[in-house]
Amino acid sequence: MENLSDDECLELLRQGSVGRIGIVVDDAPIILPINYRLVEASGMTPARWIAIRTRPGNVIERAGLLVAFEIDGIDPYRKQGWSVLVRGTLHHVDPDAADFRQRFDSTPWILAERDAWLVIDPFAVTGRRLHAAAPEWAFDDRGYR
């Protein structure tokens, strides 16, 4: 297993569009699939957020401040994969402020009623890649002596 660099984590977040958000509902954690887009703003202090859209009033919009977000890629045939974990704070945003709607729409697969716009402001981004173990030779060489 290897840790991914910050740049590798960001590149994987740029490439994706579906992840999972972890929130607490009724004192118990739940994980839900969501569409997302990585928002990157340049300037004196570059900023990055995970932008999401959801239905107004649903459990994601009502979630507490602290959340987790995860994406991954898995190759079960080769027994290898990667994951990126974002831990951060969840904030409501005005989609019409600073052209946010046009520039950073997360384009949900289901568009109906997805009018609550949120961002995750990360305080930690980490990732790992699992490499397959070296393959074992399927035949015993004693049979060829």
Query: Is residue 144 in some structural domain?
Result: no
**Structural domain that includes position 98:** 2-130
Residue 145 included in any domain: no
Assigned domain for 135 exists: no
Closest C-alpha among 23, 20, 108, 102 to residue 61:
23
Please tell me the least confidently modeled range out of 7-11, 41-45, 87-91: 41-45
Matching residue, tokens 């729409």: 105
Residue 55 in any domain: the answer is yes
Does 136 fall in a domain?
no
Which pLDDT tens digit goes with each residue over 15-38?
999 999 999 999 999 999 998 989
Each residue of 41-72: b (16+ CB within 10 Å) or e? eeeeeeebbbbbbbeeeeebbebeeebbbebe
User: Each residue of 74-118: pLDDT tens digit?
Assistant: 998 888 999 999 999 999 887 777 666 666 665 665 656 767 889
Q: What is the CATH number of the domain that holds 13?
A: 2.30.110.10
The conformation of residue 63, written as its DSSP 8-state character, comes to -
The answer to whether residue 142 sits within a structural domain is no
Structure-model confidence comparison of residues 17 and 142, the more confident one:
17
pTM of the complete model: 0.81
CB under 8 Å to 28, separation ≥6 — which residues?
A: none
Count of structural domains within the chain? 1
